[in-house]
Structure formats: C-alpha cells, structure tokens
C-alpha cells in the first residue's frame, strides 16, 4: 500500500513537470490576435515567419470595431491569458496597456531591430515613458486632398505644402456657391478628436503632457478653436458639418460639393478610378498635399493612425524570446510592403515608400511618408477613452465653438484624466 501511495504521489508531482516539458518541446506555439480586415496579408506574413521554423504562429481574429477589440483584449490580458502572445494594438492604446502592465517592454535588441528605418511619428506611438512597448506594423496620416482645377481657380497651390487654414478658407470661399466646401471631421466621434489634436499640435501645443496635465487653455488650444469656428461659420462650411466623418467627407468631395478635404490615404480610390470611367474623370483632377498649417511659417503636425504589434504579459517565460522574434518578423519591411500593397494601409518603415511597386500604386507616397514622419500622435494617456470623449463633447457641435471653448475643454480633460 505504501508503495502504491508513493507511486501516486510521484505521478501527481510529475504532472506539471511533464506539462512544462511538453510546452518547451519543439518550436514555440504562438497566437497572434489580429484585426479582421487584412486577412490576405496577415496570412502571408504568418506563412513567411513560420518558414523560419523557430516558432509557429496561428491567428485569432478579433471582432470588428476598435471598442470590441479593446474590450476582448483587456479582458484576456488582465487575466494574464497565456494564449495572448502577439497583439495588434490601435496606436492610441500603447500608454494604457503599458501602464496597466498588460504588454511587455521590448528587449533592447528587438527595439533596435524594429526602430531601424521606422518613421518618427509611428515610433512615438509605440513608446511610453521612454520605453518601447510595441513594433509599428501599419501607419497612416491625413493629407489635404483638393480638386486641382478649383485650387487653380481660387489662386492657391496647395502642393507647396505651406498653406495655412486661414489661406485655405479664404481661397475656398472665393469659389462659386456649391463648390466652395472644405470637408473636415465634425461629428462627435474619435475622428473629431484626431482633427482637434492635429490642430493643437500644429499650433505647437498638446492636449495633455506625459504627466496628464491638460494643455488646451493655451494659445495653441485657442488657435485650434479659432480654426474650427472659422470652418463652421464661414462660407466654406458644408451643410451638416456636425455629422461629417471620413465617408461623408469623401462623398462630398467626390460629388463636387467640397473642393478640399482632409482625409486618410484610402480616399484616393485609385482602384475605383480604373473600373469606373465617370469617376476616372474626377480622380484625374485630384491633388494631394501636406496637411494645412495653423501658424504661418510653422510646419503642420498631421494626424497619425495605424497599428502596432506587442507581446502580451501572459506569454510564458520560455516563449517570450520566440514571441519577440516573431514580432520583429511580422513587422519587417517585407511584411509592411505586403500589407501596404494588399490592404492599402501605409507602411511605418521609410524604405517601403521607395519600392517601385508601392510608388506605382500610391502616387502620393512621398507626401504620405513625410506626413507620417512629422505626424502628431494622439495623447498618450492611461485614460484615453475618457479624455477623447471629453474633447468631443466640449468642441461639439462645431458651430458652437469659440476661442473660449478651449478653456471649457481644458477643464473637461482635467476631470477625465483624474477619473
């Protein structure tokens, strides 16, 4: 009987060890939690990295919409889920996830690898309190899109990249009724925060500093409010400005109601121009330029979008080296080129924009690269969602905005970051 008990105890004691041994045998099995909208380049990247034979990556697809994606990731990461190894993050989540301890800082060697050749704005979005927590995979910035014939008629040349908002609105206002619109975000949504942040940053300010102190009750905050007020109350205001988002702006630009528009690179719709002869005529009049300046003589700080890849805190110790190697592989220059060509989302690495295939498909590649390099990330704040909602509420609707709105918004942001 005693011998049987000893055998039973020995077997029970050996079980965890056997499990650990099983996990450490063969290539590490990693899971990448990725968004649903780029399946083809995602599978291509995974296949290329798995060929190295050092690890195997399988993909778990996150739900549609950034709110649902964040909710699922937060739930799993806060429970230290061992199967959440590689994570695609919206660029605004880095600070929150790093501060909560849900993602791991990159080792020095991985940091060097993923930083090499990565554009400045994208790299800022992966960094929190001096440490790099993620590798930029995709990026993007908004440009000023315009009808070339109408810009010429209005007497301006946006392609020089030196246009201020004041000059743009004055020139657009001189166009015939029905053509003088300037389309910018105005709805109460995240895109409106993106717009306001770019205006504040272009005026030399920031919505909050790294310590969470609000910075809207300043000259920069008042300058941003003045631009929105001029847009909403001047002759270039579009009907329904308070509901404008990326898609409704694009529609107004395509139908000619707006001659100027700020928007992401997807608005170019070059593929559609190849398929639709009527749209091709409109597309051939498209021009693109650097985001307008707020202060004459000071370059603009365009909006920044995109996504980064990080390593989840629940990743077992003996798989972390493989996870960081996989992160570097998934965000390599070749991988970013594939994503840019197949999904249309701009790369975060500079050299991708020199590739002949990329330049053929994205004629605005040089302007996009420069914009990402000098873009202003949204506030890196632990309570970003509350902060963003406070800004949208204070500045909405655009027609209500005055220079004093910046003071009201400053108080709202202060309350939001303290919650």
What's the pLDDT tens digit per position in 175-205? 999 999 999 999 999 999 999 999 999 999 9
Confidence of residue 288 (pLDDT cuts 50, 70, 90): very high
Joined tokens for residue 281: 């005529």
Q: What is the mean pLDDT of residues 10-18?
A: 38
124: pLDDT strictly greater than 70 = yes
pLDDT of residue 308: 97
Q: What is the mean pLDDT of residues 413-419?
A: 86
What's the pLDDT tens digit per position in 128-173? 999 999 999 999 999 999 999 999 999 999 999 999 999 999 999 9
Q: pTM for the whole thing?
A: 0.88
Instruction: Outline which parts of the chain fall under CATH 3.40.190.10.
Output: 28-140+304-374, 141-303+381-418
Distance, CA of 391 to CA of 74 (rounded, Å): 24
How far, in whole angstroms, is CA 153 from its chain's centroid?
Answer: 34
What's the pLDDT tens digit per position in 296-320? 999 999 999 999 999 999 999 999 9
Torsion sign, CA atoms 157, 159, 162, 166: positive
Distance, CA of 232 to CA of 118 (rounded, Å): 37
256: pLDDT strictly greater than 50 = yes
Residue 130, Cβ density class (10 Å: 0-12 exposed, 13-18 middle, ≥19 buried)? exposed
Comparing CA positions, the residue from 173, 192, 291, 172 lying closest to residue 246 is 192
Q: For the domain 28-140+304-374, what is the CATH superfamily, name and number?
A: Periplasmic binding protein-like II (3.40.190.10)
Distance, CA of 114 to CA of 100 (rounded, Å): 23
Contact 363, 190 (CB under 8 A): no
3-state secondary structure the chain: CHHHHHHHHHHHHHHHHHHHHHHHCCCEEEEEEECCCCHHHHHHHHHHHHCCCCEEEEEEECCCCHHHHHHHHHHHHHCCCCCCCEEEEECCCHHHHHHCCCECCCCHHHHHHHHCCECHHHHHCCEECCEECCEEEECCECEEEEEHHHHHHHCCCHHHCCCEHHHHHHHHHCCCCCCCEEECCCCCCHHHHHHHHHHHHHCCCCCECCCCCECCCCHHHHHHHHHHHHHHHCCCCCCCHHHCCHHHHHHHHHCCCEEEEEECHHHHCHHHHHHCHHHHHHHCCEEEECCCECCCCCCCCCEECCEEEEEECCCCHHHHHHHHHHHHHHCCHHHHHHHHHHHCCCECEHHHHHCHHHHHHCCCHHHHHHHHHCCECCCCCCCHHHHHHHHHHHCCCHHHCCCCHHHHHHHHHHHHHHC
Joined tokens for residue 79: 């429970």
Q: For the domain 141-303+381-418, what is the CATH superfamily, name and number?
A: Periplasmic binding protein-like II (3.40.190.10)
Joined tokens for residue 257: 């109601």
């Amino acid at each position: 009987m005693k011998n049987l008990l000893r055998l039973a105890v020995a077997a029970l004691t050996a079980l965890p060890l056997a499990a650990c041994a099983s996990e450490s045998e063969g290539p590490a099995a990693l899971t990448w939690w990725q968004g649903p909208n780029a399946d083809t380049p995602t599978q291509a990247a995974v296949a290329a990295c798995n060929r190295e034979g050092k690890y195997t990556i399988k993909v778990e697809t996150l739900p549609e919409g950034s709110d649902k994606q964040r909710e699922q990731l937060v739930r799993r990461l806060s429970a230290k889920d061992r199967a959440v190894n590689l994570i695609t993050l919206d660029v605004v989540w880095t600070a929150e996830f790093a501060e909560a301890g849900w993602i791991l800082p990159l080792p020095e060697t991985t940091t060097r690898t993923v930083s090499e050749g990565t554009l400045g704005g994208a790299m800022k979005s992966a960094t929190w309190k001096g440490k790099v927590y993620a590798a930029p995979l995709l990026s993007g910035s908004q440009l000023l899109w315009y009808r070339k014939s109408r810009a010429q008629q209005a007497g301006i040349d946006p392609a020089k990249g030196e246009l201020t908002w004041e000059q743009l609105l004055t020139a657009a206002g001189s166009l015939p009724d029905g053509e003088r619109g300037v389309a910018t975000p105005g709805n109460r949504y995240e895109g409106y925060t993106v717009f306001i942040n770019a205006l504040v940053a272009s005026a030399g300010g920031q919505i909050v500093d790294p310590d969470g102190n609000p910075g809207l009750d300043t000259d920069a905050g008042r300058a941003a409010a003045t631009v929105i007020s001029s847009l909403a109350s001047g002759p270039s205001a579009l009907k329904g400005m308070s509901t404008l988002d990326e898609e409704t702006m694009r529609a107004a630009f395509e139908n000619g109601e707006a001659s100027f528009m700020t928007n992401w690179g997807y608005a170019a719709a070059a593929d559609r121009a190849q398929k639709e002869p009527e749209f091709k005529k409109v597309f051939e009049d498209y021009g693109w330029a650097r985001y307008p300046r707020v202060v004459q003589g000071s370059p603009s700080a365009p909006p920044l979008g995109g996504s980064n890849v990080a390593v989840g805190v629940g990743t077992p110790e003996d798989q972390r080296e493989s996870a960081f190697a996989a992160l570097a592989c998934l965000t390599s220059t070749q991988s970013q080129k594939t994503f840019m060509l197949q999904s249309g989302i701009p790369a975060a690495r500079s050299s991708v924009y020199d590739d002949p295939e990329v330049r053929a498909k994205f004629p605005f590649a040089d302007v996009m690269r420069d914009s990402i390099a000098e873009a202003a990330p949204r506030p890196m704040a632990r309570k970003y969602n509350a902060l963003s909602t406070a800004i949208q509420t204070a500045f909405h609707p655009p027609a209500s905005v005055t220079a004093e709105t910046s003071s009201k918004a400053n108080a709202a942001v202060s309350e939001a970051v303290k919650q």
